[in-house]
Amino acid sequence: MNETRMAMRSLRCVLMTMLLALCSLVATPALADSLDGSSRHLSMRLVAESDHPKAGAPLTIAIATTPDTDWHGYWANPGDAGFPATFDWTLPRGATAGQPEWPVPTTLLIAGLMNYVYEAPYAPLVTIQVPAGLAAGAKLPIRLKTSYLVCSATICVPEEQALALDLTIGDGAPSQASAFADWRRAIPKPLDAGATYAVDQGVLRVAVPFPAGARAQDAYFFPLTTGVIDNGARQTVTRSGDTLTIATRLAANGKANAPIEGVLRIGDAQGLAVSAAPGVVAAGPSDDAGGLWATALAAFAGAVLGGLILNIMPCVFPILSLKALSLARGGASEREARHEALAYTAGVVLVCLGLGAAILALRAGGSAVGWAFQLQHPAAIIVLLLLSTAIAFNLAGLFEVPTPRFAGESGASGAFATGALAAFIATPCTGPFMGAALGAALVLPWPAAM
């Protein structure tokens, strides 16, 4: 008996040591990030258009940014998730910094959440007004503290950097003309004429003056005004004469009664800065319901195929084999086994429908949620860590978890409850094949999504 107690005490010590080691591994990257910039996922530097700016003249500063491979930074409007960068300038007395001019972003759909991001090098431009009266040769120190969110497909990390640039007052001759010419090409050009928009039955249509002979490749409207359009909804582009019209779905609880600011992409890293006022917009062609349902059916077929492939994954296949073994050992007839299989399937399907309905309801209420979005919250990670530790202690025999009463029941009711429980606790096992299907479902209208 004493030997058993000593063994259990030793096992507790080993498990607690492993838990502390795990916590230290989790904390170490964050601590390293705070000590140096070697682990940052965005490389940033300040570049001045002129190394010798002229006193009393404007000076353009580029915040040259390069994301790590498979990571991305965010636009001024991040979309359904993330948050934009903040800039805190420290400048000499009399100098002022304007608002950043952002390059045209790209779209990135992750788990049904539309993000407006940069996955390649980019450079927001900021105009600094150099104070007048500075003598030639005087120093012009420029300091910037920026905070931002950088994400990969699986994780988001808040970071901050302190950047410095020391210049000398001179004649203002450009020293980075080629680089700034490239960066300026990616900045949206101002629209010469005014745009208009109209809302009809939950559909927002934005009419932008655009020459009939001009080419618009992969046109897309990025809203700077938040809370107006459903970022994840499909955008339909039509052209009539010298007008390009984009139709999309109005956001849940969205109100469009003021000018809408945004950027119209008209090509690769090319765009127009749009300010649309309420007005008259010619009605476009109605949405093709047949095409919508064809898309939904194609997504459903892909989901079924992905689910079949998912059954042979290590996360699912052992569960299926255990269920088959329980049926074989139960000695049930073929008819009873078929009924239990149908009940088990019904439990799985109904729980998945319930989870999907909950997500769609939250999104309709204005919440930017997607599949497993809660895993970006530290509290959820802590709960999962504690749960994993408890499971490890349970498997080690330190305590026993009573089996749910329905697990021992036979017949259709027990099979239904087992299927429901399996579906509820196995939601993290849906990727990678089901992740694309879930993302596609979240951007469809709710009848097709369900």
- Cα separation, 397 vs 301, whole angstroms: 44
Predicted confidence at residue 372, as pLDDT, reads 53
What is the mean predicted confidence (pLDDT) over 121-126?
97
Q: Is 299 helix (H, G, I), strand (E, B) or coil?
A: helix
CATH number of the 190-278 domain: 2.60.40
**Cβ distance 345 to 416 under 8 Å?**
no
Closest of 54, 92, 48 to residue 170, by C-alpha: 54
Domain 42-187: top CATH class: mainly beta
Min mean pLDDT across 109-118, 255-264, 354-363 is at 354-363
Tell me the β-bridge partners of 248: 204
Residue 244: helix, strand or coil by DSSP? strand
pLDDT at site 258: 86
- Is the model's pLDDT at 86 over the cut of 90? yes
Does residue 260 contact residue 281 with C-beta atoms inside 8 Å?
no
Tell me: the pLDDT tens digits for 307-321? 677 666 666 666 666
Please, which residues have CB within 8 angstroms of residue 83's CB and are 6 or more apart in sequence?
A: 74, 148, 149
Average pLDDT of 200-229? 91
pLDDT in tens, 129-183: 999 989 999 999 999 999 999 999 888 899 999 999 999 999 999 999 999 999 9
According to DSSP, the residues that pair with 271 across neighbouring strands are: 265
Is it true that 42-187 and 190-278 share their CATH fold?
yes
3-class state of residue 383 by DSSP: helix
pLDDT digits (tens, 9 = 90+) for 345-397: 888 888 778 777 777 676 655 555 555 555 556 776 787 678 668 767 876 77
Helix axes 334-364, 411-425, angle to 10 degrees: 40
pLDDT at 201: 84
Angle between helices 289-310 and 433-442 (to 10 degrees): 160
Q: List C-alpha distances in Å: 110 to 73, 82, 176.
A: 14, 12, 37
219 contact partners, CB below 8 Å, separation of at least 6? 237, 244, 246, 264, 265, 266
CB 124 within 8 A of CB 97: no
| Confidence (pLDDT) at 421 | 67
- Domains in the chain: boundaries: 1-37, 42-187, 190-278, 289-449
Q: How confident is the model at residue 53 (pLDDT cuts 50, 70, 90)?
A: very high
Q: Which of 82, 141, 129 lies closest to 108, judged by CA?
A: 82
182, 196, 186, 207: which is closest to 106 by C-alpha? 186
Q: What pLDDT, on the 0 to 100 scale, is given for residue 10?
A: 47
The answer, yes or no, to whether residue 57 has pLDDT greater than 80, is yes
Spatial separation of the C-alpha atoms in residues 360 and 127, rounded to whole Å: 43
Question: pTM higher than 0.95 for the full model?
Answer: no
